[in-house]
Amino acid sequence: AHEIPIIIIRQQALDQANDKNSYLKVLEKAYIFLIKFVRNNKENQFILINYIDLFVDDMEYGVHSWELISEIYKNSELLLSQQFTPLLKKVIKLIDSLPKETQKKTTMLSFLTYFMRYNGNNLKEAQLTICNEVTSIIRKNCDHLFVGEVGLKDLHLYILEMKNAYSEFMNDDRYVQEIQIPPELSYTIEYIKLLANCGEGKNATTETRCQ
């Protein structure tokens, strides 16, 4: 069942496509199919791990390739047998390069938690790797945590914006699916959640670094 989507992904023909938007939509559908194919299916996880380098090449185009990679590893024995540290470093570097105004940055960050737990047990080495990478001084990630006087002013503005959005939501008779959280605030929330996951399970090393 996975062969056709793999063929589509292998084409890597975005540069040659007459209609790049249409090509990316087809690529997106291929990835969505594979995500469903591999989700909670250990046998299919081991099938798709053989194509991991192919999926890595597409991470810059959107979140679905990274979501697929994360689903391949999620709660899989691959977390114990595969050396995925270079992959984590590569994706964190990519996340770091994305503008904080984009939701893609937040979404990609959220999947890192998939690599820190197997069968309910915390993987301390993975926790430490991720923690070290996202808090490294060479990263821009920490700059988005609303620190200092300027940061507090920015945070106040975002909270005020959220309050106004909530007020409009409550007073609007029309059906509104959800309140949109500003990407910068959404990213910060996800970043803090990630650090909390890094320190879970009494991991003293990561707890100290996160503090």
pLDDT at res. 163? 72
| Residue-range definition of the domain harbouring residue 31 | 3-210
Helices (H), the chain: 3-11, 20-38, 42-48, 52-56, 64-73, 78-81, 85-97, 103-110, 124-134, 148-171, 183-198, 204-210
Higher model confidence: residue 27 or residue 72?
72
Compute the distance between CA of residue 66 and CA of residue 57 in angstroms, rounded to an integer.
10
User: Considering its fold, how many domains does the chain have in total?
Assistant: 1
pLDDT at res. 173? 58
On the 0-12 / 13-18 / 19+ scale of CB atoms within 10 A, 1 is: exposed
**32 to each of 5, 80, 113, how far by Cα in Å?**
9, 26, 20
pLDDT tens profile 115-170: 999 999 999 999 999 999 988 878 776 666 666 777 778 777 777 776 776 676 66
- Is residue 29 very low, low, confident or very high in pLDDT (cuts 50, 70, 90)? very high
Residues 6 or more apart whose Cβ sits within 8 Å of residue 129: 85, 88, 89
CATH number, domain at 140?
1.25.10
